[in-house]
Amino acid sequence: MSNRISRFSAIVFAAFCMLSIHVAGATDLSALTRPAIAVKAPDKVVLIAIANAGKRLVAVGVHGVIIYSDDDGQNWRQAKVPVDLTLTAVRFADSQNGWAVGHYGVILHSTDGGATWQKQLDGNQVNQMTMATAQAAVANNDASVGTARAMARANHFIAGGPENPFLTILAMDANNVIAFGAYRMAEKSTDGGKDWTDWNLHVGDPISHNLYDVTRVGTDIYLVGETGSVFRSTDNGASFPAVTPPAQSTLFVVLPTGDGGVFTCGVAGLAFRSADKGQSWTPVNFNTSDNLTAGAVLSNGAMIVGNESGAIAISTDHAKSFSALPGFQPMEIFGLAQAANGDVVAVGSAGVIVIPAKEFLRS
């Protein structure tokens, strides 16, 4: 299973954040216990995701680097992190409780707004939990979509070691969290990460696609991934049945439109909007063939989307149309967030760029 991951570029956007070359026997397990590298300019390293922790901004990236800013992205400090691994996503349930996920199946937790982090789970544990789930499903004649291939999948995981990454995480509140990743990886906690339950058979995907982004839209939860896969939970994450895929193209971003709809986008500039809970989709034109790699909803309800060439587009009509903002950011954009003062902070291949709020207000 690792060959598919290893073909991706070494430094790419969040959806393709498999930076390590996963060759059997080459997994550097010491990275799971080696602290993150200390860097002199933490806002200049490759950063893959960013999130709001109250008024604080927290970004994650390569070599376990997590940085945080209390002045709207102008100055950054490096957090204390116990692993030296590429981190691919970060989400906060409130101003204090947050989770970061990444390579080797690692899940980190912070209770102080991202200043310090503790490891809650890694790929060794995930693989054992995956195997236990498969064995139980077979023994109980489980009718879940993924059961037919569950044992083969679990054996692949065990044989490959803790090489598979988590790629996104949903922090519903300080207790309820679900992490998703490569090959339908899914782990759920209801006690803030003290205990985790393998949740992969609750995702209605018989093929085990990579799962790249997740968001809440009203009372529903949408999950998107490879080859246009879209799943919608109507039971607060207890199950994720598949809905109509908008296309066969991989999706990297999913966002609420603000009027009850859902927006998703990904490779080759393809984007779609649904107003009927994923039963049908309408294409959204971006006039680009670049991969759409990051998105955020601003405090005024506008939506912004960034791409691999550094362009940012904005929608003020609930994702029915987007217009390009002037100028390009000199990097691939992997994550976007709005600071407390209204500025937009982009993270990516060159670190951090702060874009003044006036640029978005004039659009």
Q: Which residues, at least 6 apart from 210, have a Cβ–Cβ distance to it below 8 Å?
A: 167, 181, 182, 183, 225, 226, 250
223-242: b or e for each residue (b if 16 or more CB lie within 10 Å)? bbbbebbbbbbeeebebbeb
- Relative orientation angle of helices 123-139 and 150-160, to the nearest 10 degrees: 160
The C-alpha angle 303, 187, 90, rounded to 5 degrees, equals 35
The candidate with the shortest Cα–Cα distance to 314, out of 260, 267, 255, is 255
| Structural domain boundaries in the chain | 2-361
Spacing of C-alpha 97 from chain mean position: 17
Q: Do residues 122 and 87 make contact, with C-beta atoms less than 8 angstroms apart?
A: no
Q: What is the DSSP string of 33-46?
A: TSPPPP-S-GGGS-
Q: Please give the chain's pLDDT, 363 residues, in tens.
A: 333 332 233 334 333 444 333 333 345 789 999 999 999 999 999 999 999 999 999 999 999 999 999 999 999 999 999 999 999 999 999 999 999 999 999 999 999 999 999 999 999 999 999 999 999 999 999 888 888 899 999 999 999 999 999 999 999 999 999 999 999 999 999 999 999 999 999 999 999 999 999 999 999 999 999 999 999 999 999 999 999 999 999 999 999 999 999 999 999 999 999 999 999 999 999 999 999 999 999 999 999 999 999 999 999 999 999 999 988 899 999 999 999 999 999 999 999 999 999 887 765
How far is Cα 233 from Cα 222, in angstroms, rounded to an integer?
Answer: 7
Task: Note the CATH number of domain 2-361.
Answer: 2.130.10.10
